[in-house]
Structure 1
Amino acid sequence: MNNELMFSSKTDLWSTPWNFFEKLNDEFHFTLDPCSTHENAKCYKHFTIEEDGLLQDWGNEVVFCNPPYGRQIKDWVKKAYEESQKDNTTVVMLIPARTDTIYFHEYIYHKAEIRFIKGRLKFGDSKNSAPFPSMVVVFREDNQ
């Protein structure tokens, strides 16, 4: 990833570091990546921008979701919460730790397991850490 782009508002795509993903995958065994490109998909089953994961069914899947971090992130968090209400569906999100947002309070706080990440992640092939803290949000039946 171009470091100049990473620290600007020119992109909202932050490719998940493989080693970070692999640790989560060892725990959850993901079956779906609903917001990826063919090049950075973390699961065999995945949806690209053209397929629009927000419009797809995530039911009966174990989902890894690292959504675009722009204004549409609230839609992805809402979708993750709603999809997790379906039987046999778990959704794990990697998102910025923005606890002051409406979507955090409406869909995450007291409704999901929250894992704050110590330090800052290095997304993609960047040499620099992200300019924001991150968290893993786990939506699953036993959180309800």
Structure 2
Amino acid sequence: MENDDVIESPRRRGRPRIHASQRVRWRKAQAARRLRLREAAAKKKKVRALFSSQRVEWSTPPELVESVLNRLGISSFCLDPASAGAGGTVPAFRHFTKSDDGLQQEWLGNHIWLNPPYGRRIKEWIRKAIQEWQSGRAKVLVLLVPARTDASWWHELLAVGGQPEFLRGRLRFLDESGQRQDVAPFASVLVWLRPHVGDQIDPRP
């Protein structure tokens, strides 16, 4: 009696016959695996881009900027030294874009916002922020950075009096066209550098 559900595998010693239904399931499983691999590769590519130094591609969520401005009681920052430009999400009287190279400029102002590039040069931006704040040119600095508490720059920030404020959940940054991206693969934190009053940190914004 013939069985149409059985497919003979190539004649190799020791290989069992494979049922058609088993082969269909195997093919579906392989297709699903390839899809998972493609999705994982795409996600990894986005993560690499988010950690890259192309700051212009990753803008701060506007609702976070608005919240900080409201708490400071101002409508605009004096300076955004790592800016996507005047058309970005951070209102400021002055913007330093990539072509201006904010690392080479003086940061002057009472209220300065910094969302630095998250690539390898983030340490340079953190040290520049500390330098400008300690010089007195920058009175209040608000930094949006990844919560990398094991990084050397993180400890440098806290050592000079930086006040961390961990954000609940994870942010969805905007690309250069203003479109929201997937949820960031890391937690974020605001670090406040404020004027000192004696040996105490001034709690006022």
Structure 2 runs not aligned, ≥5 long: 1-41
Higher-strand-fraction structure: 2
Q: Is the 8 A contact 1:92 1:139 kept in 2?
A: yes
Question: CA 1:41–1:55 in structure 2 vs 1: closer, same or farther (change >3 Å)?
Answer: farther
User: 1:97–1:109: structure 2 CA closer, same or farther, 3 Å change rule?
Assistant: farther
Q: Which structure shows the higher helix fraction?
A: 2
CA distance in 2, matches of 1:127, 1:91: 26
> Does the alignment pair 1:77 with 2:131?
no
Distance 2:183 2:137 in 1: 37
Cα distance in 1 for residues equivalent to 2:60 and 2:123: 19
Task: Please tell me whether the aligned partners of residues 116 and 136 of structure 1 are also in contact (alpha carbons under 8 angstroms).
Answer: yes
DSSP-derived class of the 1:79 partner: helix
Whether contact under 8 Å (2:80, 2:114) holds in the other structure is yes
State TM-score, norm by structure 1.
0.86
SS at match of 1:93: strand
State the superposition RMSD in angstroms.
Answer: 2.2
RCO higher in structure (CA 8 A, sep ≥6): 1
TM-score normalised by the chain length of structure 2: 0.62
Q: How far off its partner does 1:37 sit?
A: 2.3
Distance in 2 (CA, whole Å) between partners of 1:62 and 1:134 is: 20
Which is higher, the Rg of structure 1 or of structure 2?
A: 2
1:128 Cα deviation from its structure 2 partner: 1.9
Aligned partners of 2:120, 2:181: CA distance in 1, in Å?
A: 26
Count of aligned pairs: 142
Alignment partner, residue 140 of structure 2: 90
Q: Matched residues, percent identical?
A: 36
Matched, 1:40 2:88: yes
Q: Kindly indicate whether residue 70 of structure 2 is the aligned counterpart of residue 26 of structure 1.
A: yes
Aligned partners of 1:6 and 1:130 also within 8 Å: no
Write the letter of the residue equivalent to 1:92.
V
Report the CA distance between 1:59 and its aligned residue.
2.7
